Structure 1
Amino acid sequence: MNNPHAALVEAPRQSGNEIARRIDASVIVPVYNCEPWLRTLLASVLEQEGVELEVIAVCDGATDGSLAILEAIATADPRVRVVAQENRGVSASRNVGLALARGEWVVFADGDDWVKPGALRRWIEHGRQNNLDVVIGNGFAFDTLPAPARPSPMYEHQPWGEICDGRTWMLRTVPDDDWVVCVWLQCMRRDFVERFGLRFEEGVVHEDIIWTLQFAQHAQRMGFVEEPLYGYRHNPNSIINAPSESSLARRAHGYLRVIDALASAASARREDRPFYRLLLRQINREGGNFLHLLRKRLQSSELRRHYARAFLDKGNIRVMLRGATNASEVWRALRCWRTLSRFVQTSSPATR
């Protein structure tokens, strides 16, 4: 491995037959301070039946006992490969996993989640039977295990039972705000990932949106499994839920980068008017998310002013207006302009 920041913690020596075995799926798990839940997640993956798999667990500078847990599990199960690196973020961790992956399919899981029995076999069978580049699964949210017997699905408006390309998928799902950007619901052929050099943008929060936009523009055959098979744990300490000002500032920066990526993709597809308009509409939605973060979460007036100015200076209000398809979306853009302009002009906390 060429990454000087990472060190591979070797599992027990494998026999020649084990090394040569066919690997159906490489499950990539970025790990940062997941000690209370890590054994549960890994057990749910390693107990999957009907698939030959490897787990590539990337310990991203964890300060708890996560690395010790990973090393112990790798010692007992040669299917587990552990990488220990200094903290570089979830995108860098997933990229390390992609570089090491050997499976026919690539799947992602987070260290505090849970995978339902039979999930990987179901996704991969669907992918093989239909010669797919990407399988989109379904998930459910939970607080504690055991999971509900009939959990509520996270997504309801996917093209269930159909095969389509990535462009069509986005045209069908983005308008309903049902676009699946959760990477742990995306199972894709590794040769598809490598053919197009797909990697996560490092150092950016909300990187899953950029990643999904990237692969959707290349995927020719996508399929969908409606049954919710992946459990997403409500974790108040996750990156998205962390209340610290530094975490919120990283999220604000992430939204700016997401909007830049959407705008760049829209510019490149200007001749494809339906897709171009779709991307502008998503910018309108992400602008609303950015505004909510600054109004409701970020308390530092200096940080609010900094990110509000960056948003306005990029001309994003104009783009949001071009992407508006109804009165509500026009109002969202105008509200962004009014509120962010106020943040730029004053250092006092927002009153709304």
Structure 2
Amino acid sequence: MIDLTIIIPVYNVEDYLEECLDSVVQISDVSMQVICIDDCSTDSSYYILQRYREQYPIEIYVNEQNRGLAYTRNVGLQYAIGRYVMFVDSDDYINPSVISSFIKKMKSDELDLLYFDVEEFINGNRNIEVITKRKRKYSYPIKCGLDIFDLMVKKGEMFGCVWDGMYRKEFLSKHNLQFLDGILHEDIPFTFAALLNASKVGVMLETGYYYRQRSGSILHQPNYLKRARGLIIGYAQMICTWNYISTKMDLSEYESSINRYLDSIVSMIETNYLEGCSGDCEDAIVNHFMTNFRINTYRKLKEIVGSGLLQEMEKYKRVSLYGAGNIAKKVLPFLASEGIEVSAIFVTDIENNPNTMNGIPVLQYETKYGNEYDAIVVAVSQQLQKAIVDRLLELNYQGKIITLTV
């Protein structure tokens, strides 16, 4: 049986494809199947694949129409015959020198899934800046997927991407693990389901993959509503996965970590929504989710503020807000829903902020402006609250300071 299948979706990556393929064909001491699926590229990517097929045993498949990353990966899984599977994006590349050691680890410990390190870098015109934020700092014992998930969430190292792992093909087939077609962020529900189903998972702190950040790639274009939609559909799928596995085993000891991870996905949804839509949007799925989310957010804020403080705030003639980030974007409509009008928004540094927010001017805080307002609502993260309050007091702000966060 072939040791490894490497699945490479290809779409308009003529500048990077050779580097990717060169890294793959350098793998030694491993029997290998390389599957490249061209997703209707309009540049020379397909011709580069043909040239490499003349020299190396590469299988090429072509989608009849452009279908996206999830569908294309699923095509690769359909044709995969290796004992293990890796997913490689065609603008990235791998470390060929460690693949055989990963295979040995998978075999010796009979793993369903093996995680390894990723080095992330920014691809610029003239220089490449290496980032190591996706490298794990902690060692992990071989455990079931739920235990590894629990540990990674608690340590802040649950990354939710597929190219930092090697998967046993029979495991993927047994649990019918495929990518949700037609969405962005399809990796997240896939990796969630894989971990919740895996019997044995290992982690090797060796770099096996190099991930390229580039402005033209899917996840670095400002498709905020598409990204929010993909995350919402993935979130719903993750809830279904959790509920299904809960019927087969007791997940109560993992409930805290699962909720924490799902909450992080909701935060990603909210961030993309706030970046991409100032009010109601045309996407019914996003609109429905965010309407319910906004109701829950307002309920939480009302509990935090309390009816007494709200009544007190209604007495102030001029109210301002400090902060123009995501927390402020939630607090501002909440205050409006309670009949509290905010007439100015203050920030520490105007350079990195918009000129207006919801039609309200955004100003750099100065004492001469600040003291024109009876109250300032500080709507920033808890980590920044004290510094902002201290600064207002230092600048001799005379009004009421109210801190809010969610």
Q: TM-score, normalised by structure 1?
A: 0.78
Equivalent residue of 2:179, what SS? coil
The residue type equivalent to 2:59 in the other structure is R
Q: Give the equivalent residue in structure 1 for 2:203.
A: 224
Letter of the structure 1 residue corresponding to residue 236 of structure 2: D
The letter of the residue matching 1:295 is L
**1:244-280: CA deviations, max 9, x gaps?**
xxx3221010121122123334444385223233222
Q: 2-side partners of 1:248 and 1:125: how far apart?
A: 41
In 1: Cα distance, 2:8 partner to 2:235 partner: 27
Report whether the alignment pairs 1:309 with 2:276.
no
**Match of 1:240?**
219
Q: CA deviation at 1:191?
A: 1.1
% identical equivalent positions: 23
What is the aligned partner in structure 1 of residue 235 from structure 2? 259
How many angstroms apart in 1 are the aligned matches of 2:237 and 2:336? 25
Measured in 1, the distance between the counterparts of 2:209 and 2:113 equals 16
Contact 1:141 1:234 in 2 (8 A): yes
**Cα RMSD for the two superposed structures:** 3.5
Alpha-carbon distance in structure 2 between the residues aligned to 1:321 and 1:29: 46
Report which of the two has the higher share of strand: 2
In 2 relative to 1, CA 227–174 (structure 1 residues): closer, same or farther, beyond 3 Å?
same
What code does the residue aligned with 1:257 have? I
Deviation at 1:130, TM superposition (A): 1.0
Unaligned runs of 5+ in 2: 301-324, 338-355, 363-406
Match of residue 177 from structure 2: 198
Counterpart of 2:220 in 1: which secondary structure? coil
Write the letter of the residue equivalent to 1:51. Answer: V
Aligned to 1:288: 267
Contact 1:280 1:319 in 2 (8 A): no
Give, in whole Å, the separation in 2 of the partners of 1:27 and 1:184.
Answer: 10
Matched, 1:163 2:142: yes
Residues 1:130 and 2:109 are matched in the alignment: yes
SS at 1:233 equivalent: strand
Q: Distance in 2 between matches of 1:302 and 1:48?
A: 51
Q: Which amino acid aligns with 2:289?
A: F
CA contact (8 A) 1:317 1:336 kept: no
After superposition, residues 149-188 of structure 1 pair within 5 angstroms as: 152=132, 154-160=134-140, 162-188=141-167
Deviations 1:20-77 (A, max 9, x none): xx42110000111111000110010011122111110010111111111111111221
Instruction: Give the count of matched residue pairs.
Output: 313
Report the counterpart of residue 143 of structure 1 in structure 2: 122
Larger Rg: 2
CA apart distance, 1:153: 5.9
Whole-angstrom distance in 2 between the partners of 1:64 and 1:343: 50
Higher relative contact order structure (alpha carbons within 8 Å, sequence separation ≥ 6) = 1
Task: Indicate how the Cα distance of structure 1 residues 256 and 36 shifts in structure 2: closer, same or farther if over 3 A, else same.
Answer: same
Give the 5 Å matches for 1:19-38.
22-38=1-17
Which residue pairs with 1:116 in the alignment?
A: 95
Q: Distance in 1 between matches of 2:60 and 2:192?
A: 29
SS in structure 2 at match of 1:274: helix
Shift of 1:158: 4.8
1:272 alignment counterpart: 251
Q: Find the counterpart in structure 1 of residue 61 from structure 2.
A: 83
